[in-house]
Amino acid sequence: MDRIRIVGGNPLNGVIPISGAKNAALPLMIASLLTDRTVTLENLPRLADVSLLVRILSNHGVDYSIDGRRHGEDPDSGQTVHMTAREIVDTTAPYELVSRMRASFWVLAPLLARCGQARVSLPGGCAIGTRPVDLLLMAMERLGAEIDIDAGYVVARAPGGLRGAEIVFPKVTVGGTHIALMAASLARGTTVIHNAAREPEVGDLADLLVKMGAKVKGAGSPVIEVEGVARLGGAKHRVLPDRIEAGTYAMATAMTGGDVLLEGARAEHLQAALDALIEAGAHVEDTPQGLRVSRNGNGLQAVDIATAPFPGFPTDLQAQFMALMTHASGVSRITETIFENRFMHVQELARLGAHIRLEGDTAIVEGVPALKGAPVMATDLRASVSLVIAALAAEGESMIQRVYHLDRGFEALERKLSRCGADITRISSGG
């Protein structure tokens, strides 16, 4: 298994190109199941989760091809992938594949909408608390699906097709909103989704669906209206930039000091996190090329945050912000309201010398003047990158184990950071 070695202390200076968003790429790819025509996605990040989803989709009958590199293209720039589900050959998504990535459960919606049936294994994914699918199933039932659970599988049927309906989510769910949007696009009649997630990735999926011929209004607001159509066509779409990746490198820069342009990052996707960074003492400038983040000379101040659905502070940046706060002056309270048990990074950050105490859903972080390098272990995707951030600022060497978690969600992480001056190297298994 690969490890990452970091010798801390170098400020970050330079340009980091922001990749296409993983959390947009996955639902966009899954939407290709809704049509027999070709969906072309540009700026698709080169990530383990994307490759795994390609395997899952090809199992259902999706043909795909990837454009080769073009002259003058950066090898780390996103790829263009053409996906065509001419015929769905299998409506079962097996445990071996779905258990490795939670989002693959979302194939349930397009399979059901297009074929009237689906058999999808209950999901796995990052071990961040119990992550139920009750609301996802409720949404499909509202649209007329009959659902049974059989031997670890969700078996869904809609022999007469799906029908438009009112779907009221009692709690904001990104996945629930994605699958409701996909299924409603091919349902008969009108669907209204209440308390919909407003995450930019929901807007990106709605944009693709509209290009495919769907009738969607209100994406990005809490009420989305979808008028079903009989069939959807092909489309070409560019994946939006990854706000979580951008926020992560913004925090890394605030942590180490320096001055970095996050090329392509958009402030409006990240305002709550940027506000917290500015309050902590970083300088953030919104430029036509992207966001420029710097911290020169001044130290960091403790800031309290609580995670919330968009436009609140994203849970996917909570661990990274905690890493930043371990080195701030004062005491910061970090409250996680989305996922229980999303504090697995606390123990590992403590190995680097952080002072963190847990009180229920809140971590109380007492800033220390310096962190010290240590061997640490990556536990989930976002937790792992918080260790990278802390290690970049720690004195001496840190060795991060189990970096396959990072490969699920961060494209070319070591290259992007080392180009900006970080001392970071991947040690391949056996190396």
Told to check if 315 binds ligand UD1 by CB under 6 A, we report yes
Told to check if 166 binds ligand UD1 by CB under 6 A, we report no
Rg of the chain taking only CA atoms, in angstroms: 22
Residue 304 C-beta: closest distance to ligand UD1, Å: 20
Q: Which stretch binds ligand UD1 (CB under 6 A): 130-138, 140-148, 207-215, 363-371?
A: 130-138
Which CB atom, from 131 or from 426, has the smaller least distance to ligand UD1? 131
Sites for ligand UD1 among residues 355-384 (CB under 6 A): none
**# residues near ligand UD1 by CB under 6 A:** 20
Told to check if 23 binds ligand UD1 by CB under 6 A, we report yes
Instruction: Say if residue 22 carries a ligand binding annotation.
Output: yes
Told to check if 336 binds ligand UD1 by CB under 6 A, we report no
Told to check if 171 binds ligand UD1 by CB under 6 A, we report yes
Residue 271 C-beta: closest distance to ligand UD1, Å: 15
Q: Among positive and negative, which fits the CA dihedral 334, 176, 85, 59?
A: positive
Site string for ligand UD1, 67-106 (x = CB under 6 A): -----------------------------------xx---
Using CB under 6 A, which of 67, 132, 148, 404 touches ligand UD1?
132
Cβ neighbours around 225 below 10 Å, total: 17
Told to check if 226 binds ligand UD1 by CB under 6 A, we report no
Told to check if 135 binds ligand UD1 by CB under 6 A, we report yes
Which CB atom, from 133 or from 305, has the smaller least distance to ligand UD1? 133
Told to check if 173 binds ligand UD1 by CB under 6 A, we report yes
Instruction: Say if residue 90 carries a ligand binding annotation.
Output: no
Instruction: Say if residue 365 carries a ligand binding annotation.
Output: no
Q: Assign 3-class secondary structure to the chain.
A: CCEEEEECCCCEEEEEECCECHHHHHHHHHHHHHCCCEEEEEEECCCHHHHHHHHHHHHHCCEEEECCCCCCCCCCCCEEEEEECCCCCCCEECHHHHCCCHHHHHHHHHHHHHHCEEEEECCCCCCCCCCCCHHHHHHHHHCCCEEEEECCEEEEECCCCCECCEEECCCCCHHHHHHHHHHHHCCECEEEEECCCCCHHHHHHHHHHHHCCCEEECECECEEEEECCCCCCCEEEECCECHHHHHHHHHHHHHHCEEEEEECCCHHHCHHHHHHHHHHCCEEEEECCEEEEEECCCCCECCCEEECCCCCECHHHHHHHHHHHCCCECEEEEECCCCCCCCCHHHHHHHCCCEEEEECCEEEEECCCCCECCEEECCCHHHHHHHHHHHHHCECEEEEECCHHHHHHCCCHHHHHHHCCCEEEEECCCC
Which CB atom, from 136 or from 303, has the smaller least distance to ligand UD1? 136
Question: What phi and psi, each to the nearest 5 degrees, are found at residue 304?
Answer: -90, 140
Told to check if 339 binds ligand UD1 by CB under 6 A, we report yes
Told to check if 131 binds ligand UD1 by CB under 6 A, we report yes
Instruction: Note if 420 is an active site residue.
Output: no
Told to check if 299 binds ligand UD1 by CB under 6 A, we report no
Told to check if 175 binds ligand UD1 by CB under 6 A, we report yes
Q: Which stretch binds ligand UD1 (CB under 6 A): 169-177, 219-227, 263-271, 355-363?
A: 169-177
Instruction: Say if residue 23 carries a ligand binding annotation.
Output: yes
Told to check if 146 binds ligand UD1 by CB under 6 A, we report no
Residue 129 C-beta: closest distance to ligand UD1, Å: 7
Residue 239 C-beta: closest distance to ligand UD1, Å: 13
Sites for ligand UD1 among residues 190-209 (CB under 6 A): 201
Looking at 126, 138, 265, 374, which residue is catalytic? 126
Instruction: Say if residue 316 carries a ligand binding annotation.
Output: yes
Told to check if 26 binds ligand UD1 by CB under 6 A, we report yes
Told to check if 248 binds ligand UD1 by CB under 6 A, we report no
Sheet of 92-93, strand order: 92-93, 117-121, 153-157, 146-150
Candidates 216, 134, 210; CA nearest to 175 is 134
Query: How far, CA to CA in Å, does 203 sit from each of 69, 231, 289?
Result: 29, 21, 22
Using CB under 6 A, which of 316, 336, 348, 411 touches ligand UD1?
316
Query: Which residue has the closest beta carbon to ligand UD1?
Result: 175
Q: Taking a C-beta distance cutoff of 8 angstroms, is the pair 167, 192 a contact? A: yes
Q: By the criterion CB under 6 A, which residues form the site for ligand UD1?
A: 23, 26, 102-103, 131-136, 171, 173-176, 201, 315-316, 338-339
Annotated binding-site positions for UDP-N-acetyl-alpha-D-glucosamine: 102, 131-135, 316, 338
Task: Give the residue numbers annotated as catalytic, written as ranges.
Answer: 126
